[in-house]
Chains A and B, each alone.
Chain A
Amino acid sequence: NAGVTQTPKFRVLKTGQSMTLLCAQDMNHEYMYWYRQDPGMGLRLIHYSVGEGTTAKGEVPDGYNVSRLKKQNFLLGLESAAPSQTSVYFCASSYGTRNQPQHFGDGTRLSIL
């Protein structure tokens, strides 16, 4: 089992460019999450999904969109990247209920110039 796989691992963008971060899990988890991690801020929830075809906003959703077309995949999109979105992005997944342990991917380090 690969667990949770994130691609790409690193990316540098120019302000205004768009990109999509891909998260894939092979554990048949219902719940998937996108977080961003900034120094001194811990992990902040961007968007999450409680099942295929569903998405919901987290703490810091502005500037991001997500899609969950397949159960195993959760995509995070930046339509027009801004320097404030420079961060490390983590995807996580968990079993059916939200109080289950979350399994994290290795992260994507994104820099916006």
Chain B
Amino acid sequence: GQQVMQIPQYQHVQEGEDFTTYCNSSTTLSNIQWYKQRPGGHPVFLIQLVKSGEVKKQKRLTFQFGEAKKNSSLHITATQTTDVGTYFCAGLLGGKLIFGQGTELSVKP
């Protein structure tokens, strides 16, 4: 079964609002990666977190890795229409990268 759970499945926001997606695992992850997939496109790597409690920023995107290395989040500040797409987390478990189900973000102008 799915070992990396991601919520919510869908999120609709007004342009300018914030957005957060959460990723949870029942077991400790070696690291976590985040990918973005635009509609009709392929997943594109965004970032990797390795250390417990790590926080990384990319412009309006903030990525966090939990202290226990079992959860992670992606927060987007002041969404723009270019942020539309599906965001996936992927945790390294037993040497394999296990993807969450993804959160589909739509942004209304």
Contact = CB atoms under 8 A, between A and B. Distances in A.
A109 B38 CA distance: 16
B21 interface: no
Interface stretch (A11-19, A73-81, A96-104): A96-104
B73 interface: no
A102 B91 CA distance: 12
Given A90-B42, A99-B48, A42 B92 contact: no
B85 interface: no
Interface in A67-103: 90, 92, 98-99, 101-103
Nearest to A35: B99
Contact of A40 (B90, B97, B101): B101
A42 B6 contact: yes
Contact of A98 (B2, B9, B41, B97): B97
B80 interface: no
Nearest to A104: B42
A22 interface: no
Contacts of A92: 43
Given A102-B45, A105-B42, A106-B42, A42 B96 contact: no
Interface string B51-81: 0000000000000000000000000000000
A90 B43 contact: yes
A45 interface: yes
Interface string B21-37: 00000000011010000
Interface in B82-105: 88, 90, 92, 95-102
A102 B100 CA distance: 15
A41 B33 contact: no
14 contacts: A40-B101, A42-B101, A43-B43, A44-B99, A45-B97, A58-B96, A90-B42, A90-B43, A99-B50, A99-B92, A99-B97, A104-B44, A105-B42, A106-B42
Q: What 9 pairs between A and B have smallest CB-CB spacing?
A: A101-B45, A43-B99, A104-B42, A42-B101, A42-B99, A104-B43, A42-B102, A99-B92, A99-B31
